[in-house]
Amino acid sequence: MASQYRVVYSLNQFFAGLGGEDKAYQPPQLLEGPRGPGLLLEKLFPHMEVAATLVVGDNYLAEKTETALQEILALLSPSLTAEGADKIHFLLAGPAFNAGRYGIACGAICQAVQERFSIPALTAMYPRNPAVAVYRKDVLIARAGKDVMAMKEAVQRMALLAIKQFNGEELFPDRHNYIPHGRRKNYFAEKTGATRACDMLLLKLGGQAFNTEYLMPVFDRVQPAPPIHDMARARLALVTSGGIVPRGNPDRIEAASASRFGIYSLKGLLRFSSETHQTAHGGYDPTFANADPNRILPLDAVRELESEGAFASLHDFYYATVGNGTSVANAEEYGREIAKLLLADGVQAVILTST
């Protein structure tokens, strides 16, 4: 059976099978045929053909965005401007799940491709991926699960959306499983707004399910911890999302969309110095932080307070990650893990610094 739709599939170095973090600086390259999720796509949809796979490393695109996008558009131009039997009908990217750097890459590539070549370009992400807030207004983003276990469903959703978009069908977020663009469309309803509001109120009062026409944002409510009554007896710890790490960044914490946090010793240290520590953060000018890391994580001031008896002792380790573009879900996970470690070590208080 001849393919009805020809696709270019965009992947990062990991899903293309080139490697992990060791290949994160891989420049863009165009490979013939399907790789990774592209193989699944062809299996699920026999009438689709992955003509080529675009591969670019997460770090390469994140740190050289404009250059990388220009290189990508130049690579894709011969394929995406072809006609006849060689015509490409749309581009798919991801799924990125909850991976922040990958999500940013997928969104940026889709936006650039659809603007330059006027073809459908879409991706799939977990709704709390930080890239969703950046690209949802301009890029069609299918809903995806949090991790690779949801690969099949995400690929199916992307493909079905791409076909509908290519054929000019009208799309609806709830019906077609994509993340809303945040735009509202006028239509003629059978009932007035007042009547619909009363209907919803009656359903709510009756304890029945109803759908609001205007989804309200959901804000977390965190119960503040009770105050420490005697700081002189408390053990204190330092935690930062400002990216202060030992010189050389031994855990390779990413400059954006961090996928991990690090645990580092404070034993024998009275202050940080430019020779021993640096910032891994990519969301602010690192000049002053690298010159004096205590500006971000004030070990010098805390040691002085410790010597004055303001608290009993400083924990022997500090915990660091990068908050720049890191998803809320990942940040919550890091917070829970760090809290468990601190409680197990008898810590009663934390100074948490940002930037």
- CA dist 302 and 206 (Å) reads 56
In a 10 Å sphere around its CB, with 0-12 CB exposed, 13-18 middle and 19+ buried, how is residue 90 labelled?
buried
- Nearest alpha-carbon partner for 254 in 236, 283, 280: 280
94 pairs with which residues across the strands? none
pTM above 0.85, yes or no: no
- CA dist 96 and 145 (Å) reads 9
Mean pLDDT by 10 residues, the chain (355 residues): 80 89 88 92 90 91 88 91 84 89 91 91 90 89 91 92 86 84 80 92 92 74 86 95 94 86 94 95 91 96 95 95 83 91 94 89
At residue 213, the pLDDT reads 77
At residue 3, the pLDDT reads 65
CATH 3.40.50 in the chain is located at 5-176
At residue 1, the pLDDT reads 46
- Nearest alpha-carbon partner for 321 in 344, 275, 353, 273: 353
- CATH number at 5-176: 3.40.50
